[in-house]
Structure 1
Amino acid sequence: MSGVPTLVIIGGGPRGTGVIERIAANADELYEDLRLDIHLVDPYPPGGGRIWRQDQSPLLWMNSMAEDVTMFTDDTVQQDGPVRPGPALHTWAADVREGRTTTGTAPAILEEIRGLGAQDFPSRRLQSAYLRWVYEQALAALPPGITVHEHLGRARQITGPRDGRQRVWLDGRTEPLVADLVVLTVGHLDAELDPEQRELGDFAARHGLVHLPPDFTADTDLTALPAGEPVIVRGFGLAFIDLMVLLTEGRGGRYENGAYVPSGREPVLYVGSRRGVPYHSKIGYTWTGERPPLPRHFGPGRVEELLNGPGPVDFRRDLWPLVTKELGHAHYHRLFTSHPERTTVEWGDFEEKYAVAEPGSAELQALVSSAVPDPADRLDLEALDHPLDGVRHASYDTLQDGLRDYITADLARRHDPANSPDLAVFLGLLSVYGQLIHFGDIGEKWHSFFSYLASGPPGPRLRQLLALSRAGVVRFLGAGLTVEADEERGVFRASGATVPGEFTEARALVEARLPDPSLHRTRSTLLRGLYEDGAAGTDTGLLSVDARDSRILGVDGRPHPRRFALGPYTTARSSGAFTRPRTGGPAFRQNDATARTALAFLRDLSCRDRRTA
């Protein structure tokens, strides 16, 4: 290879694109007119990567409105690099429609772009076209001395000393890519089965059953699920929504006047989960008026104080009270400033007392009760997180009516601006996420809670779920779902807490969730190799990285000078590689910090090489 400094980015999806965009943005300041070769490695085309690839069903949607999706920074992002504004998805689509922007995408996707409105939910393949365009813009913004070389393949291993050049080995190639720095942006990981899933899979094989373990629904072969047969589905989040779509519309069913017309090829989906309800609907209106001042109770100062404290930070003891205080502040700020007729005191008086009240205290409860008369206007995070706690039904038939009422009420609330404190809480959740990423692995419960409350399906999908329920294609099983393998009868048996004493049997079981982002069970030889080479991992299997610039940490706590990692498999996992405009975008901040650290390292390396040449 030449003497030109070299950076290898493994992963060409939106995170890899984001790093290249930040390299382009920071190069003028940090890299002068020096040369740099960037090698981008991914088995899927750059821009969309695997999850957002263009080659997938047009029935699969994003769970965000077009106006809530951007890949570009703005002045709300807390970063050291410059802001390089660009269009959100809906603005880009309008530019394409009106001829201001060109995109070399398929005619079917161009037809989607022509009909896309700001508050529509785009297909994932349309998002792929946007991401590809962003990638091409990032390449075009690079200075002349920086060149990107694409490698359509899979990286299997990284070798090399801490203080020397790294070697990135690709499948099908005998010679490695030699790199001065390596950045991993590989996204979600496939995983080996955990002990429970292995046992269920073995049971299914013995009895001729179907068992589909956690997987990416778009990649799962669903042909083994026969028409008309019951299928137990464990999981009620976004993976279930994709499954529902592919097994209904994907098999020829259709919706007419709010009712579902079956094709006759659908299985019957019996769905339940820990909560027993689907994720909350995406909010169906836009923000107007004053935004809550965030962060207020959980900002950088409090983060610094906790990180420099005398002992380890515990999520439940140290962080959760701050989370609840911040979300409550966002909720009540909106309620008092936009709906003052539903309160009994002035916002200033309430805010002053709220600020000093301990989270969860009787004092705080009394303050809220006296100032907010209607319980429906009060924020109760525990009730939101466990909506079926204590709810019991005598039969599965009455549960169907109860769950349909619950989903109908959720849709009504999430599409009524009179309940705009819900949207303020969403903004609070984004703000909180931006602080929590500084604390490493805080456990899965927070991420589950965030997704349940803030990252649910589009409203139209829940209306489709109601239609499928009324048509008998979907049946609800309730909360606390457990699945057993009945060796004697040779079937899966599901039961839960919501309908005591009742159970459902089926010859097929689908685990409707993504594989856990764990180094302990990942199928990635790349990640396993890093772990075996001394990279640190948490008890839950996340790759440990430095919160400042995402350098990979070793078991000795030292950051690796030449290896970085960004994404959901790391301790700095954030809420997504893209986000809605003007909400801070923690991933953007991480991309910027990594790009700046990498450019400074490579600049110094290049200058040193010039001096010694």
Structure 2
Amino acid sequence: MSRSPTLVVIGAGPRGTGLIERIAANAPGLYEGRPLDIHLVDPYPPGGGRIWRHDQSPLLWMNSMAEDVTMFTDETVQQEGPIRPGPALHTWAADIRDGRLVLPDEAGIESELLAEIKALEGSDFPSRRLQSVYLRWVYEQAVAALPKGLTVHWHRGRAVRVTGPREGRQRVWLEGRDKSILADLVAVTIGHLDAEPEPEQRELADFADRHGLVHLPPDFTADTDLTHLPAGEPVIVRGFGLAFVDLMVLLTEGRGGRYENGEYVPSGREPVLHIGSRRGVPYHSKIGYAWQGERPPLPRFLGPDRTEALLKTDEPVDFRRDVWPHVDKELGYAHYHRLFTAHPERTTGDWPDFEAKYAAADPAGPELRALVSAAVPDPADRLDLEALDHPLDGVRYPSYDALQEGLRGYIAADLERRHDPAHSPDLAVFLGLLSAYGQLIRLGDIGGWWHGFFSYLASGPPGPRLHQLLALSRAGVVRFLGAGMAVEADEHHGVFRAGSATVPGQRIEARALVEARLPDPSLERTRSPLLQELYEDGAAATDTGLLSVDPDNGRILGRDGRPHPRRFALGPFTTSRAGGAFTRPRTGGPAFRQNDATARTALSFLRDLACSDGPLGA
């Protein structure tokens, strides 16, 4: 009895949706009209998946402006497959508003959400619920674009393991039922992972249990039960990134507070959040102006040739020693190109002369610093990435009260700078970061520091969120702790204590501690039984716990270095993680290239399998 070839895609969020879109785009040219059953496995509805699902607080926003979000390829994407253009998020909303596009389920969308869609402008930061509607529409468009004979079946549930021989069909087992799906190929696109706690987190959780305290470990904030944090009580929060922003929103507006004329009016149900981190400051604000004029020609010093040379070296690549100097020079080039071309009055000499000397200088040598010092008179116009990464190094305050005013000044200055086109070299550095990220994913696991630095500079909160943070600080609902934050468990007094290097010798205490960050992706600590099984079955993991995949096509690598012919993986838990959740239009997003390569490899494999074996047996 003949059967259709079968592909199982585990994960129905943006990555799974993107893979189906690329299958639809590539199938006419690669798959020659053959049938294919695509089984999509996820407990959450296709399109948004878990993170971008409809069922979450309407107060939670995307971290990108609508004009900076697309799920469709354009000519800047370096891929083999065909370009299938489509609307970015703001264009899609305008099409709905102007009647050019009608959502098939518009009657089922809440009136408030439909109104948000129709009011959306390019510079707005949409709610995640709005993004869920866009992603669902993208998914439906991708399915509708599949050639005749290619069919998608959604299984609402979790895949818990994959079994099968390297050279034979795979079996995908589903949770909570005696059910499995036979597959010729499997692609894992499950996104962010839950994880077992690290040793420190286990110790803090045990301490909290012994003393009746509250300890909330790293988690996706929208899924965290915050009801255990009592009103009016101090809460120590460790982490000043995007997870903190969500926490801040849910514990303030989410508890009935509101903003009036730029000030926060408490409901009385808020806790008092004492927030600190390694840097002691929030991520830099999203840039609030558009690019004008000539773009820096990127990549310049960190392009494919440099990446290939790093890949071919016989010695293990050390990021800070072997890679970072080239990243630093690339970002500096973007910065000074913009400064010379858009703000020449703040430079000496001319750009061609500076560029030639800059290109010849050693990335880590003193001649580069001397060149910049001579050509850029104002130190404020020079790019110092180390100083940006450690803004409070050496800064000391006599008390926490003094720190509050100082840090409010820092945040206000950052907001002003990031919304002032006079500082447009900052936007050039952002473009340089995107370019560098597109190259560095070729190197696999380069450690967590780069991803954190990238997010700190390039993926910070919307400006309005930082204005809200300032208002919450003035209202006393948020208190800053500073840099070099340390948390200790006081067994004798049964409380958590926290302090920082910024306010030496002083501590605050609380009966609640929140770790405001996502769990680190790690195969060794993941709570995903699926990934646990893959790891135990021989899948390779890096020192930091990422799943090793072939950068050319996403095939899962075994510990023997061989790619598995029938198993693929895409997403932030792999060595081919891409920067940011979504791609900005016309930036050649690496996630698109990865999706395209995996789709083409999968389709070619299934076509060749059918040609070599004849009709596929049951």
TM-score, reference length from structure 1: 0.99
String of CA shifts for 1:199-246, please: whole Å, max 9, x gaps: 000000000000000000000000000000000000000000000000
The equivalent residue for 2:58 is 58
1:377 to 1:2, Cα distance in 2 relative to 1, 3 A: farther
Percent pairwise identity: 79
> One-letter code of the match for 1:30?
L
The equivalent residue for 1:33 is 33
Question: Does the CA-based 8 Å contact 2:486-2:498 persist in structure 1?
Answer: yes
Tell me, in whole angstroms, the C-alpha distance in 1 between the residues paired with 2:477 and 2:241. Answer: 18
Unaligned runs of 5+ in 1: none
Question: How do 1:203-602 and structure 2 match up within 5 A?
Answer: 203-602=207-606
The equivalent residue for 2:46 is 46
1:97 to 1:555, Cα distance in 2 relative to 1, 3 A: same
> One-letter code of the match for 1:95?
D
Q: How far has the Cα of 1:301 moved from its partner?
A: 1.1
The equivalent residue for 1:201 is 205
Secondary structure of the residue that 1:109 maps to in structure 2?
helix
Question: Does the CA-based 8 Å contact 2:4-2:616 persist in structure 1?
Answer: no
Q: How far has the Cα of 1:106 moved from its partner?
A: 3.1
The equivalent residue for 1:184 is 188
The equivalent residue for 1:101 is 101
Tell me, in whole angstroms, the C-alpha distance in 2 between the residues paired with 1:479 and 1:175. Answer: 51
Tell me, in whole angstroms, the C-alpha distance in 2 between the residues paired with 1:326 and 1:511. Answer: 34
The equivalent residue for 1:18 is 18
Q: How far has the Cα of 1:281 moved from its partner?
A: 0.2
Secondary structure of the residue that 1:572 maps to in structure 2?
coil
Tell me, in whole angstroms, the C-alpha distance in 2 between the residues paired with 1:175 and 1:215. Answer: 30
Q: How far has the Cα of 1:303 moved from its partner?
A: 1.0
Q: How far has the Cα of 1:610 moved from its partner?
A: 2.5
String of CA shifts for 1:391-423, please: whole Å, max 9, x gaps: 000000110011000000000000001111101
Q: How far has the Cα of 1:175 moved from its partner?
A: 2.8
String of CA shifts for 1:533-565, please: whole Å, max 9, x gaps: 000011111111111111000000000000000
> One-letter code of the match for 2:470?
L
Question: Does the CA-based 8 Å contact 1:167-1:178 persist in structure 2?
Answer: yes
Secondary structure of the residue that 1:173 maps to in structure 2?
coil
Secondary structure of the residue that 1:139 maps to in structure 2?
helix
> One-letter code of the match for 1:311?
E
1:162 to 147, 162, 166: 166
1:210 to 1:609, Cα distance in 2 relative to 1, 3 A: same
Tell me, in whole angstroms, the C-alpha distance in 1 between the residues paired with 2:296 and 2:155. Answer: 45
The equivalent residue for 1:8 is 8
> One-letter code of the match for 1:97?
R
The equivalent residue for 2:88 is 88
The equivalent residue for 1:128 is 132
> One-letter code of the match for 2:503?
V
Question: Does the CA-based 8 Å contact 1:15-1:577 persist in structure 2?
Answer: no
Unaligned runs of 5+ in 2: none
String of CA shifts for 1:106-159, please: whole Å, max 9, x gaps: 322111112211101000000110001100110111101110011111000100
1:383 to 1:2, Cα distance in 2 relative to 1, 3 A: farther
Deviates more, 1:334-343 or 1:234-243: 334-343
Q: How far has the Cα of 1:576 moved from its partner?
A: 3.1
Secondary structure of the residue that 2:456 maps to in structure 1?
helix
Q: How far has the Cα of 1:607 moved from its partner?
A: 1.8
Question: How do 1:72-87 and structure 2 match up within 5 A?
Answer: 72-87=72-87
String of CA shifts for 1:242-291, please: whole Å, max 9, x gaps: 00000000000000000000000000000000000000000001111111
Question: Does the CA-based 8 Å contact 2:187-2:567 persist in structure 1?
Answer: yes
Secondary structure of the residue that 1:39 maps to in structure 2?
strand
Tell me, in whole angstroms, the C-alpha distance in 2 between the residues paired with 1:106 and 1:423. Answer: 37
Tell me, in whole angstroms, the C-alpha distance in 2 between the residues paired with 1:393 and 1:218. Answer: 34
Tell me, in whole angstroms, the C-alpha distance in 1 between the residues paired with 2:119 and 2:358. Answer: 46
Tell me, in whole angstroms, the C-alpha distance in 1 between the residues paired with 2:218 and 2:16. Answer: 25
Secondary structure of the residue that 2:374 maps to in structure 1?
helix
TM-score, reference length from structure 2: 0.98
Tell me, in whole angstroms, the C-alpha distance in 2 between the residues paired with 1:363 and 1:306. Answer: 24
> One-letter code of the match for 1:601?
F
> One-letter code of the match for 1:505?
E
Secondary structure of the residue that 2:100 maps to in structure 1?
coil
- Verify: 1:606 aligned to 2:610, yes or no: yes
Secondary structure of the residue that 1:379 maps to in structure 2?
coil
The equivalent residue for 2:149 is 145
Tell me, in whole angstroms, the C-alpha distance in 2 between the residues paired with 1:290 and 1:492. Answer: 52
Tell me, in whole angstroms, the C-alpha distance in 2 between the residues paired with 1:291 and 1:586. Answer: 20
Tell me, in whole angstroms, the C-alpha distance in 1 between the residues paired with 2:446 and 2:149. Answer: 41
Secondary structure of the residue that 2:12 maps to in structure 1?
coil
> One-letter code of the match for 1:69?
V
Tell me, in whole angstroms, the C-alpha distance in 1 between the residues paired with 2:276 and 2:519. Answer: 18
> One-letter code of the match for 1:17?
T
String of CA shifts for 1:46-97, please: whole Å, max 9, x gaps: 0000000011101000111000000111111111111111110000000011
Question: Does the CA-based 8 Å contact 1:232-1:510 persist in structure 2?
Answer: yes
Tell me, in whole angstroms, the C-alpha distance in 2 between the residues paired with 1:252 and 1:585. Answer: 39
> One-letter code of the match for 2:84?
R
Tell me, in whole angstroms, the C-alpha distance in 1 between the residues paired with 2:595 and 2:191. Answer: 14
What is the aligned length? Answer: 613
Question: Does the CA-based 8 Å contact 1:576-1:587 persist in structure 2?
Answer: no
Secondary structure of the residue that 1:164 maps to in structure 2?
coil
> One-letter code of the match for 2:220?
F
> One-letter code of the match for 2:379?
P
- Verify: 1:115 aligned to 2:122, yes or no: no
> One-letter code of the match for 2:383?
L
Secondary structure of the residue that 1:326 maps to in structure 2?
helix
1:354 to 1:147, Cα distance in 2 relative to 1, 3 A: same
Tell me, in whole angstroms, the C-alpha distance in 1 between the residues paired with 2:342 and 2:74. Answer: 26
Tell me, in whole angstroms, the C-alpha distance in 2 between the residues paired with 1:127 and 1:346. Answer: 45
Give 4+ residue runs of structure 1 displaced > 3 Å after superposition.
none
Tell me, in whole angstroms, the C-alpha distance in 2 between the residues paired with 1:610 and 1:429. Answer: 48
Question: Does the CA-based 8 Å contact 1:551-1:563 persist in structure 2?
Answer: yes
Secondary structure of the residue that 1:7 maps to in structure 2?
strand
Question: Does the CA-based 8 Å contact 1:535-1:543 persist in structure 2?
Answer: yes
Tell me, in whole angstroms, the C-alpha distance in 1 between the residues paired with 2:177 and 2:156. Answer: 12
Question: Does the CA-based 8 Å contact 1:280-1:452 persist in structure 2?
Answer: yes
Q: How far has the Cα of 1:179 moved from its partner?
A: 0.2
> One-letter code of the match for 2:451?
H
The RMSD of aligned alpha carbons is 1.0
Secondary structure of the residue that 2:614 maps to in structure 1?
helix
Tell me, in whole angstroms, the C-alpha distance in 2 between the residues paired with 1:286 and 1:268. Answer: 36
> One-letter code of the match for 1:376?
A
Tell me, in whole angstroms, the C-alpha distance in 2 between the residues paired with 1:65 and 1:484. Answer: 39
Q: How far has the Cα of 1:446 moved from its partner?
A: 0.4
